[in-house]
Amino acid sequence: MTQTPEPTAPTKAEEALAGATSGASLARSMARSTEIEADLDVNPGRYRMLTGVRPTGNMHLGHYFGTMHSWAKIQDRGVDTWILVADYQVITDRDGVGPIRERVLSLVADSLAVGVDPERSTIFAHSAVPEENQLMLPFLSLVTESELHRNPTVKSELEATDGRAMTGLMLTYPVHQAADILFCQANLVPVGKDQLPHLEQARLIAQRFDKRYGRAVKEHPVFRRPEALLSEAPLLLGLDGEKMSKSRHNTIELRMSADETAKALKKAKTDSERVITYDPVGRPEVANLLTLASLCGAGTPEEIAERIGDGGAGTLKKVTTEAVNEFFAPIRARRAELAANEDYLLQVLHTGNERARAVASQTLDAVRTAMHMDY
Ligand code: TRP
């Protein structure tokens, strides 16, 4: 039986992982992603898309323009769309999960509000799918400790925790994420470039599983090989010009009212130059508001700047507020309606959990068969 080597120096696979975001490998992923993008319209039925989100708080405009806006678009092209509320992943990097139940339901409401249709798409939570989580055990046997220590996503997650000691779950979170993708036989995962290594890890685990246990299942491998749909997410900064994140209190949340949005934008950092110009390098905060207004349909950033002219930061904020409020009004109205109906949100989640469990138990059965553990 093939054994995964216990490496001292980086193996080829580890180099592939580390290199997933650079050079030739990145170019290959990008080319493949473009190919898939074109094929989605021709053969949407070939794909199952999975995306995951940590329920760490209310979703904000960075999430929306980063990923959420694409969910309904992919679903509406006829792709089987799965959205994972990654509740177990929250405990990888923090002690407290906060008001987790509320946050999970809030994420369900956000997903539905941006157009995810629970009839066609599946929204489910980690903690509700034991068969998925059981895959962690065989999967952990297919990765080495040194490989995990060198995993670029583990490294960057660790940096984000401000030097706190690494938990076992943090170290193994790429394996858990591989289980997320592989259990439901997803073959398409929308990711930013920085997340390519975790997809590569999932592919490696699928390959190694089939290599080690494949004798029983030669005709068709147990796992599909997931591929990346690379998103060109525009980088939105927070209102203070730093990275947008809830903990910095520099976000505009999807659920905010028009007034709250106006208030938040009034406090946004700008500069004292009266003439508004789009200069992302020299005037990042001003450029960021122009980008936001542009994303909300107010024209290109340059056009908006031109229109504002010497109107100064006050006009810029007013224009941005109007654009954001107009763009999000229907989403917010729908969200408010959904949020008031907890029974419905729970029902959507329960249905999704059941679908996820059905697929997960089929996959686990195939895994048991391949491992000769089907007693
Ligand atoms: N790690 C992702 C995040 O940063 C969430 C996630 C969990 C995920 N499992 C996934 C993303 C599977 C894509 C595929 O929030």
Domain borders along the chain are 23-235+342-371, 246-340
Q: What confidence score (pLDDT) does residue 21 get?
A: 67
CA of 177 to the centre of ligand 1 (A): 6
pLDDT at 15: 64
Please tell me the distance between residue 173's alpha carbon and the centre of ligand 1 in angstroms: 10
Beta-bridge partner residues of 312: none
Q: How far is the CA of 51 from the centre of ligand 1 (A)?
A: 6
How many other C-beta atoms are found inside a 10 Å radius of the C-beta of residue 51? 23
Locate the ligand 1 atom nearest the alpha carbon of residue 86 and give its number. 7
Measured from CB, residues less than 6 Å from any atom of ligand 1 are 50-54, 84, 86, 89, 177, 180-181, 189
Q: Is 0.95 surpassed by the pTM of this model?
A: no
Residue 3: strand, helix, or coil: coil
Question: For ligand 1, atom 3, which residue shows the shortest CA distance?
Answer: 53
Name which residue sits closest to atom 10 of ligand 1, judged by CA: 52
Q: Check: CATH 3.40.718.10 for 246-340?
A: no
Pocket test for ligand 1, best of 84, 93, 158 (most atoms within 8 A of CB): 84
Distance from Cα 109 to the centre of ligand 1, integer Å:
18
Query: Ligand 1 pocket: which of 53, 122, 151 to mutate (most atoms <8 Å of CB)?
Result: 53
Q: Which of 51, 173, 191 to mutate to test the pocket of ligand 1 (most atoms within 8 A of CB)?
A: 51
CATH class of 23-235+342-371: alpha beta
Q: How far is the CA of 141 from the centre of ligand 1 (A)?
A: 21
Q: Residue 215's pLDDT is what?
A: 61
In sequence order, the 6+-apart residues with CB closer than 8 A to the CB of 129 are 183, 353, 356, 357, 360
Alpha helices in 47-195 (DSSP H): 61-63, 69-76, 100-113, 130-134, 136-140, 145-150, 152-160, 168-171, 173-183
Alpha-carbon span 335 to 256, nearest angstrom: 10
Predicted confidence at residue 58, as pLDDT, reads 87
| Degrees to nearest 5, angle at CA 363 with 359 and 364 | 115
As a residue count, the chain comes to 375
Distance 312 CA to ligand 1 centre (A): 40
- pLDDT tens per residue across all 375 residues of the chain: 344 444 445 566 666 666 666 678 889 999 999 999 999 999 999 999 999 999 998 899 999 998 999 999 999 999 999 999 999 999 987 778 899 999 999 999 999 999 999 999 999 999 999 999 999 999 999 999 999 999 988 888 888 777 788 889 999 999 999 999 999 999 999 988 888 888 999 999 999 999 999 764 556 789 999 999 998 777 799 999 998 888 889 999 999 999 999 999 999 999 999 999 999 999 999 999 999 999 999 999 999 999 999 999 999 999 999 999 999 999 999 999 999 999 999 999 999 999 999 999 999 999 999 999 999
**176 with 89: CB under 8 angstroms?**
yes
| Dist. CA 300 → ligand 1 center (Å) | 31
3-class SS of residue 91:
helix
Distance CA 214, CA 210 (A): 4
Considering only CA atoms, which residue is closest to atom 8 of ligand 1? 52
Phi, psi of 5 (to 5 degrees): -65, 145
